[in-house]
Structures are given as C-alpha cells and as structure tokens.
C-alpha cells in the first residue's frame, strides 16, 4: 500500500493527554461524586434501568489503583457513521490496556455491532495499531448500523463474551449507539453478568453533548473540513461574482455544523433550524428572507453570495415537521402495504390519501422530487432520512419564483444564477485535527480506567476542552442521565436526548449579532486547510462553538 508523506508523519504524532492521564495508569484512581438523574422522564427511566439509573459522576485523581493491574479482555465496537478520530479512540484503549498489563487483550469486532453477534473479530496488535494512529476513517475494523436492542441479541453478546473471557465492551458511537450501550449494560447487570459496558461519544453532528460531554468527537475535524470548502467557494464566488451558492451541510437534526461553519466563514446567509422552529417560520417566510437579502446585495451590484442550509432544516419547519411525523407514523403502520407498491407516483398517491387535511395541503405544495425523497427508505429508527432530502434545491426553486415576482413588482433588478452543493461525506473520514487526535486518544485511554473499576453504563468524559490539553479533566458520566423517552416506531422508548442549538447560547448570540452585516457586506473569511504542524494557536485550536460556550 502506498502511504502519503502526511500519513507517515501522522503515525508518529503523540497525542496530548490531560495531566491526570499522564500519570502511571496504576496510580490513577476513580473518585465517585454525587448521584445523577435524567433531565426528564425520571420515573420511567428508573423503571427501565433499575440497576444503572442514578449512578454518580466519576472523576480521577492520583492514588494507587488496585484493580487496574488485573488482566482484562476488552471488546471494541465502532457503531454508526464514521467520524474523524475513531482510530485514536481505539489506539488510546489499546495503549492504556497494555500500560496496565501487557497480558491484556483488545478484540476488535468487525463491521460494527453485527461483529459481536456473528463473533467476527481481530485481535489488536502493536503492528496493526501503529498503522492507524492519527488517521481518519473507521477501516481498522469497520462500522455498521445494526442495533443491539433485543434480549436475543444480548444473549448472543453474553455467549460471545464468555467464549473469549471478555470482561468489558467499549461501544464507540452516537446517541442511538450509546443508548443501546446503556440498555446492554442494564441487561448484563440484571443477569448478574460481570461484563462492563462503556461508551465513547461520537458524531460529527455535534448533538451528543451536555455539561459533561462538551463536544462529540469528529465535530471539530468535520466542521473545519467543511469550512475550508465553504471558504474556497466564497473565494470563488467573490472572484467570479456571478453565482449564489446554496450549500447543504450534514448534521441530521441539529444545526450545530451549520452554525459552526457560519462562525468560521461568515456567509451571507445561514439558516438555523432551531430558530426556524422557534419563530414558527414557513417555507414561504424562509424564502422571503433569502430573497430580501439577495435583493439588497443586488442593489450594491453584488449578484453573488453563499447560503448555508442545515441538513435537518425541513424537520424544523413546523408544518413540515407535522407532515413528516404523520408520514413516519403512517409508514410504520402500513409498512408491508406501502412496500408492496412499485412506483414512486403510486406511493405518493397512497400517502396523500391517508394524510390529514392540513398535512395533505403541505404535501401537495411540494415538488414531486421532494415528495419522493420524503417517502424514501426510513432510517433504522423508522424516521425520514433527511440527508436524502435536497432542501437546498427546494429553496433554489422557491427563491427563484419569489425573485421573479419581485422583479415583476419592480422591487428587484438583479441577476440570479445558482450552484448547489451538499457537503457530508467529505468531512467524516478526514485526517483528524490535532484537537480530535488528542481528544479521541484521551477518551479511549480514559475508558480503560472506567471499565477497570467496573463502572458500567458510563460514557467516557473529557471536559474543559476549550483549554490546552494538559488542563482537560477526565472522568465519566452515567449514560442514563442523558436520556429521555421519545416516540420511535409508534412506541415510547428510552433514547439519549439530542442536544439542539441553544438560541440563548453564546455561539448563536454571536452569530445573531453579526449576521445582518454579513448578509449585505461581503465579509467572507477563508479558514484554509487543517494545519497539523506549527504554532499551537494555528494547529491546536478548538471550534469557535467551544470557545464561545466557555469564554
């Protein structure tokens, strides 16, 4: 295999750890804090997790650790979509296990959660690990979206763990994957199995966070990658001066990616789904806002610009949110009947006939292409796959129509030519930034301290991330404290609550204070490529979101 010069250089990069994790691992002990509770649905969660609800937060301090030197066999699973830094979580796990006891073994289950169900694995070695340090992707063992959620699956997991004398499982995943980790931890504890389950917070979407999980890994690298691309397009737009670029950004439901990229690149327009919902805005109102900005720029002879659109925008438009909810429930109830229909046109007619009057009106107003995308295959949780809905194209259509109306009324005299883009997969497997390399390695290293203390049902937590790495704080939080009850497949189920953009939070307030100027003026900023070597103020910076949240 041909290896690039950068890849060779990254192999030798030594991730920075919090000070406490730089101690001899046998001299770091866990300290239990106060008991925790979920923000909502406490009674329901207590009943569902009688053995793992209300556990205390954990921090670490210097002190002799009597359990860390015991022999451990650990299984690791990569779950869900890729995020930069996943390899470093595994490297951190491996190094911590070997530092504790060279006899420890790390099993990598292949292809995600299905790997443990099929008992497909590789045993991690120095040679294998060294070939993946500080590199992007999940290809060391692969990932998958199989859900670990049934007692039958849990029984298989138990049998596989017994077969290999595995004492702990580390699940590296997002909100749904770590929800499954919590359920699996509860099952093991209820069955009297001494198998510990620890999670690591992964998702580029940025929606797996709270005061103890300040960011999910991969968000830093992905937003820096997208911001480089947006900056490149801004430079091109300012050079050619003839196109409006509509850029849809990955991020599923929350608008964290769009907001962070806006803070880094200062586009003319950035839509924030959470604000759209709070203001009860319609597609027509969003269209009018965009058209008004385009008209104001045209008055200054600027018939170009950049619009950022969060992937999940369509779910925040109240009328469309109701429609999507109805469609999700309808398709869950009529799955066999719906799937038997062969053509998209017939599927559209089938759904139209069963919608409420209000939702039918909204559905009818959409272009046929968008209707078909709304009815495409659901995700594993029965919900619409927002990544397939080309919202940027929908907005181009509605804005084009509105500008024609304005031109006819004499309120717009510019030119409107467009380009559309979707930035998603480009950011998921990039070489992790120094921040994500350090953070992910710390999460993995930290997870070994949790599992060695049999702290099951916990997420590895590293905080104070806006500071230099030596000031980061390591610990763990119970997964149940992040959960609530939500409707899934027509049933109430426990899930980790998604963290949406807070409209009273400092990142949004900063954006709000500057966007009117960015809208009319050409105030683009060009972040450029991620830097790995050089001054810390260039190479080791966290996101603007973290800086503003912890200023």
**pLDDT tens-digit readout, 86-117:** 999 999 999 999 999 999 999 999 999 999 99
- At residue 381, the pLDDT reads 60
Residues 6+ apart with CB under 8 A from 436: 84, 85, 88, 217, 218, 220, 221
Is-contact 257 250, C-beta < 8 A? yes
Judge if 260 and 377 occupy the same domain.
Answer: yes
Which residues are tagged catalytic?
Answer: 205
> For the segment 175-209, what is each residue's pLDDT rounded down to a tens digit?
999 999 999 999 999 999 999 999 999 999 999 99
| pLDDT given for residue 551 in this prediction | 86
Note the pTM of the prediction, 2 decimals: 0.94
Strand partners, 463: 473
Give residue 380's pLDDT. 64
Kindly state whether residues 381 and 269 are assigned to the same domain.
Answer: yes
- The answer to the question of residue 10 being in a domain is no
pLDDT, residue 384, reads 74
How does DSSP classify residue 542?
-
Domain count across the chain: 2
**Together in a domain, 223 and 298:** yes
Question: For residues 62 and 81, is the Cβ–Cβ distance under 8 A?
Answer: no
Tell me: the pLDDT tens digits for 512-537?
999 999 999 999 999 999 999 999 99
Strands (E) in 443-530, as ranges, are 458-463, 473-478, 483-488, 491-496
CATH number at residue 26: 3.40.50.450
CATH number at residue 372: 3.40.50.460
Residues of the chain with pLDDT under 50: none
Integer-rounded Cα radius of gyration of the chain: 24
What is the reported pLDDT for 487?
78
- Pairwise CA distance, residues 444 & 171, whole Å: 10
**Structural domain boundaries, residue 151:** 16-218+432-496
Could you say which DSSP state residue 122 is in? Answer: E
pLDDT (0 to 100) of residue 434: 98
Give the model's pLDDT for residue 385. 77
Q: Which two tokens stand for residue 364?
A: 């009818």
266: number of CA atoms within 13 Å, CB side?
Answer: 15
Based on the domain organization, do 162 and 310 belong to the same domain?
no
């Amino acid at each position: 295999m041909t290896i690039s010069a950068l890849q060779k250089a990254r192999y030798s990069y030594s991730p920075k750890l919090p000070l406490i994790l730089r101690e001899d691992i046998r001299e770091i002990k866990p300290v239990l804090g106060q008991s925790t509770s979920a923000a909502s649905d406490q009674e329901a969660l207590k009943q569902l997790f009688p053995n793992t609800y209300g556990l205390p937060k954990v921090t670490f301090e210097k002190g002799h650790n009597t359990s860390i030197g015991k022999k451990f066999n650990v299984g690791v699973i990569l779950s869900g979509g890729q995020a930069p830094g996943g390899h470093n979580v595994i490297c951190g796990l491996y190094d911590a296990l070997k530092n504790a006891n060279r006899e420890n073994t790390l099993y990598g289950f292949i292809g995600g959660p299905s790997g443990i169900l099929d008992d497909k694995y590789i045993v991690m070695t120095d040679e294998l690990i060294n070939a993946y340090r500080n590199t992007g992707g999940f290809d060391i063992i692969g990932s998958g979206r199989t859900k670990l959620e049934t007692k039958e699956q849990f029984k298989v997991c138990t049998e596989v763990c017994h077969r290999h004398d595995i004492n702990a499982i580390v699940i590296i995943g997002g909100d749904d994957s770590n929800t499954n980790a919590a359920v699996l931890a509860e099952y093991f504890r209820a069955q009297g199995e001494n198998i510990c389950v620890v999670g690591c917070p992964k998702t580029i979407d940025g929606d797996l966070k709270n005061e103890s999980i300040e960011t999910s890994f991969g968000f830093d690298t992905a937003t820096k990658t997208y911001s480089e691309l947006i900056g490149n397009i801004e430079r091109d737009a300012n050079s050619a001066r003839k196109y409006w670029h509509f850029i849809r950004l990955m991020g599923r439901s929350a608008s964290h990616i769009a907001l962070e990229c806006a803070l880094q690149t200062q586009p003319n327009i950035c839509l924030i789904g959470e604000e759209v919902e709070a203001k009860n805005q319609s597609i027509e109102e969003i269209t009018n806002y965009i058209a008004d900005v385009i008209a104001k720029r045209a008055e200054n002879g600027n018939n170009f610009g950049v619009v950022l659109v969060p992937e999940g925008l369509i779910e925040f438009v109240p009328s469309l949110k109701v429609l999507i909810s109805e469609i999700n429930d309808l398709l869950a109830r009529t799955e066999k009947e719906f799937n038997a229909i062969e053509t998209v046109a017939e599927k559209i007619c089938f759904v139209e006939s069963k919608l409420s009057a209000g939702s039918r009106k909204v559905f009818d107003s959409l272009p046929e292409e968008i209707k078909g995308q709304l009815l495409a295959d659901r995700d594993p949780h029965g919900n619409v796959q927002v990544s397939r809905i080309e919202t940027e194209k929908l907005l181009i259509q509605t804005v084009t129509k509105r500008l024609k109306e304005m031109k006819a009324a004499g309120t717009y005299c510019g030119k409107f030519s467009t380009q559309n883009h979707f930035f998603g997969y480009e950011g998921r497997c990039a070489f992790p930034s120094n921040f994500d390399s350090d953070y992910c390695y710390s999460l993995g290293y930290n997870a070994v301290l949790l599992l060695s203390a049999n702290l099951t049902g916990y997420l590895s937590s590293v905080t104070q991330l806006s500071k230099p790495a030596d000031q980061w704080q390591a610990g763990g939080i119970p997964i149940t404290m992040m959960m609530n009850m939500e409707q899934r497949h027509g049933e109430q189920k426990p899930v980790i609550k998604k963290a949406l953009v807070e409209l009273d939070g400092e990142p949004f307030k900063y954006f709000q204070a500057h966007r009117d100027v960015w809208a009319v003026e050409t105030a683009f900023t060009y972040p450029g490529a991620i830097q790995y070597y050089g001054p810390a103020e260039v190479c080791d910076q966290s996101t603007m979101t973290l800086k503003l949240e912890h200023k």
